Structure 1
Amino acid sequence: MLSGLRRCLSASTSRRALWSLKSLGTPPFVSAPRFGHQTLATAPLPAVGGGGTSLAVRRARALAHERLLQVEWEDGSSSLYPFTWLRDNCQCPLCTLQSARARSLLLSDLDVHTGVDHVQLTENNKVSITWPDQHSSEYEPDWLKRRCFSPEARRARQEELFLNERTFWDSGLRIPTASFEEVLHDDKAALAWLQALRRVGIVYLKGAPVEQGQVAKLSKRIGYLRLTFYGHTWQVQDKPMANNVAYTSGKLSLHTDYPALHHPPGVQFLHCLQQACEGGESEVVDGFHMAEQLRREDPEAFSILSSLRVDFTDTGADYCDFCVQSKNRIIDVDSEGKVVRINYNNATRDSVLDLPVHKVQPFYTSLKSFVELMNRPENVVTYRMEPGDLVTFDNWRLLHGRRSYVSHPDYLRHLEGAYLDWDEVMSRLRILRKAVHGDAP
């Protein structure tokens, strides 16, 4: 089946454009080819509880002056836990609703300056603490180890929870590809799909039925679709009196969808039902990679685009009538300066520009630099979708576009699209990872 898919792909896309998830083994992408200065490789997930990774506690003692519990592990390492945090996270039935794994203890009842009366190890190697009010708490070694406060442990835990590491790419990318039916029905295939979607930002699914409703069916593998003003799903076709530039046959420049919303959809599905006879090739670029490249090549432009908030607008009628307005930075960064989202759509960038007049020209100069960087041939991946192809991609990261095409009334190019949010996608990824690997929460 895979060899058949590769033959189809070579007929419709660049020979290096797509590659199979199934051929990679575990972990995904280890055997991927190099291109530029990047390698399609994903770091293995941090070790988690179970499967022989448990560590026994050698000793636990209270450091009263520092108000910390010190836990020494059998491998010689140690961890420190603040008293207040331990009391706040008591796992007993009075303090935690076990069925929901939710805290019952009210913050108003928490003594944030609490000490401890007594610390000991139980016969089954749990850490037991008696508090000044004689309340008792017990903590499993694995539970404590996974919540160690060391910088290394915190980084590993955050990576395990959110898969924050990304694999950057340029025009040499061979888009990860998988079987639509396998993703629908096999947990391992679905997990590999979502991990690749998170790491690389784009995954191609082959073999979807050539009929509407497949993006909705795929969404049920995750949870549910994101409803927008264009509906739960939407039909990308050349339409008279189009209410969106995507519903024309003209070229679509590289963009992210819906920056006119303050919280744009995180993930996009596009399913090809019919392709144009001529033209209509899709283009994608790694926005995170481009932002980092801009940071290196033009730090001032990066600073401007990651600090100034730009107006976006979208007005019309579809699922219902709408008049959307937002203010977003072209490049969103977190508190540590890491790029977390790209917000750029030239079609919906508003003529209203809420900037001091002296910042207008620097803004345009910076944005032009970013767009020219994205459009360099060495950064753009081009592929052609054929009926039955379904592409899934990270709308916070990738900028996508489309070449113009010849519109014919008897052979109308038709894609069906849908959105999801990253919260739902990451939720399903964690559930699948536990089902496949037995990872502890």
Structure 2
Amino acid sequence: MTAREQVEILDGGAALALTGAAGRLRFHAVWLRDNAWDAATRAPGNGQRLITLGEIPADCRITHAALSGGALMLQFAHETAPIAYDLAWLNENAYDRPAGHSPGWTAPWIETWDAGLMAAVPTGDFRALQSDPAALRAWLFAMRRYGFGKITHGPVRDGALFDVAALFGYVRETNYGRHFEVRTEVNPTNLAYTGLGLQAHTDNPYRDPVPTLQILYCLESSAAGGENMVVDGFRAAERLRAENPRGFDLLARYCARFEYAGSDGICLRSRRPMIELAPDGEMIGIRFNNRSAAAITDVPYADMADYYAAYRRLGELIDDPAGEVSFRLDPGESFVVDNTRVLHARKAYSGTGTRWFQGCYADKDGLLSTLAAMEQMKGAAE
């Protein structure tokens, strides 16, 4: 505790003010009691709450507050035992801060990018990722930062993509199966199975929720062309917002519709905005897939022309070579893409030679959980 730190009970105990290096931060009594970390409130080990909000009085009041040895000691009117709060935790979780965000802001651990990232594609060696926690942590960190990552020196065998998923999580099974084959086919059920080039897109926007990660693994690649491309959808949305704020708002405010019914017994539909914002304006998702777009019917007549102009412009920004990062996958190489942010594409390839890829879906929460646990372990070791 420093000489500057002080605590003041406010509003008859309904709140308090904590003054320190972070400035003056206010906390409500009910929030403090709900977020206590004493043994009666949180389970040892997993930290889950042992009480419900209904067990805390609606008029929760603080009767005494004192600072002692880096902790804030509070006494609540409805309880007899004081509760200690770590000052560093309170500063980290303080909510008494100016909003200061305009719609479309991104989390501080996200870095949007353009074609300049071509010289520094985030890449991990599969052998190191399996054996070296530091290498895996660095690759997962890059995945969270950029939304995609490449992996080299993997085994060249059927099903090797499951080993990639096992680095951080689990496979998400869909109507395509636990995994899907990407080869040229006659009368394919999906354009991904042809040699045609594909516009940058997010996968499966017709699902709710969408698969949040896609893994694509190369087993054979002797056909000419077929380079993989990725585009940062968040950067494209930022560019749209900068030049056309109204267009950005329209794509974020109104839902688009997506549909897939290419197989017997399958009719998948969703209704979500192309640019998805959290209630506080944080940009949390992009859905863009012209092949799977259904008729847009949720936009009022008065806004439809401007909506389509913004939709067209977003597509132009996504197609802009200045935003593309491309790379070729050789046998044993793969890449993982955040399907809620980064669009992926493929250049056309010839009918000669062979091209065999396998793909599957996974969930981002597994990747982020693995990274968070590794970062906590690293912090505890330090």
Once residues 279 and 80 of structure 1 are traced to their aligned partners in structure 2, the CA distance between those partners, rounded to angstroms, is: 59
**Which one of 331, 345, 351 corresponds to residue 401 of structure 1?**
345
Q: Is 1:240 aligned to residue 186 of structure 2?
A: yes
Seen in structure 2, the aligned counterparts of structure 1 residues 334 and 163 have a Cα distance that, compared at 3 Å, is closer
Query: What are the residue-to-residue correspondences of 1:89-104 with 2, within 5 Å?
Result: 89-104=35-50
CA distance in 2 between partners of 1:378 and 1:371 (Å): 13
8 Å Cα contact 1:286-1:399 kept in structure 2:
yes
Structure 1 residues 294, 429: CA separation in 2 closer, same or farther (over 3 Å shift)? Answer: same
Correspondences of 1:50-65 after superposition (within 5 Å): 59-65=6-12
Name the counterpart of 1:117.
63
Q: Distance in 1 between matches of 2:90 and 2:310?
A: 47
In the superposition, relative to structure 1, how do residues 127 and 353 fare at CA in structure 2: closer, same or farther (>3 Å)? Answer: closer
Counterpart for residue 146 of structure 1: 92
Is 2:202 the partner of 1:256? yes
DSSP-derived class of the 1:347 partner: helix
- Paired residues of 1:146 and 1:153 also in contact (CA < 8 A): no
**1:131 is aligned with what amino acid?**
F
Is 2:375 the partner of 1:428? no
Task: Check conservation: 1:433, 1:439, Cα contact below 8 A.
Answer: no
Give the distance between the partners of 2:277 and 2:116, measured in 1 at CA: 26
Distance 1:180 1:56, change over 3 A: farther
Query: Would the aligned equivalents of 1:206 and 1:389 in 2 still touch at CA under 8 Å?
Result: yes
Which position in structure 2 is the counterpart of 1:209?
Answer: 155
- Paired residues in the alignment total 376
Q: How many angstroms does 1:326 deviate by? A: 0.8
Tell me, yes or no, if the aligned pair for 1:281 and 1:382 is still in contact at 8 Å. Answer: yes
Within-5 A mapping of 1:17-416: 59-65=6-12, 67-73=14-20, 77-121=23-67, 126-136=71-81, 137-151=83-97, 164-173=108-117, 174=119, 175-317=121-263, 321-351=265-295, 353-356=297-300, 359-408=303-352, 411-416=353-358
Q: Are the structure 2 counterparts of residues 356 and 154 from structure 1 closer, same or farther at C-alpha, using a change threshold of 3 Å?
A: closer
Instruction: Give the structure-1-normalised TM-score.
Output: 0.77
- Whole-Å separation in 1 of the counterparts to 2:49 and 2:3: 26
Separation in 2 of the partners of 1:328 and 1:131? 44
TM-score by structure 2 length?
0.88
* Unpaired segments ≥5 residues, structure 2: none
Deviation larger for 88-97 or 242-251:
88-97
State the 1:401 CA deviation: 1.0
Structure 2 residue aligned with 1:24: none
Determine if contact 1:262/1:326 at 8 Å carries over to the other structure.
Answer: yes
Q: For residues 353 and 279 of structure 1, do their structure 2 counterparts lie closer, same or farther at Cα, with a shift above 3 Å needed?
A: farther
- Matched-pair contact (CA < 8 Å) for 2:218–2:330: yes
Aligned counterparts of 1:167 and 1:326: Cα–Cα separation in 2: 28
Equivalents in 1 of 2:112, 2:165: separation in Å? 26
1:135 maps to amino acid: T
Q: Paired residue for 2:359?
A: 417
Q: 1:402 to 1:55 in 2, by over 3 A?
A: farther
What residue is the counterpart of 1:30 in the other structure?
Answer: none
Q: Deviations over 1:342-388 (max 9, x none)?
A: 10111111246454555544433322222122222222222221112
Distance 2:166 2:215 in 1: 13
Inter-partner Cα distance in structure 1 for 2:80 and 2:308: 62
Distance in 1 of aligned mates of 2:42 and 2:335:
42
Checking the alignment, whether the CA contact within 8 Å between 1:64 and 1:115 is kept in structure 2 is no
SS in 1 for 2:369: helix
CA shift, 1:164, in A, is 4.1
- Residue identity in the other structure for 1:67: A
One-letter amino acid matched to 1:330: M
Distance 1:66 1:424, change over 3 A: same
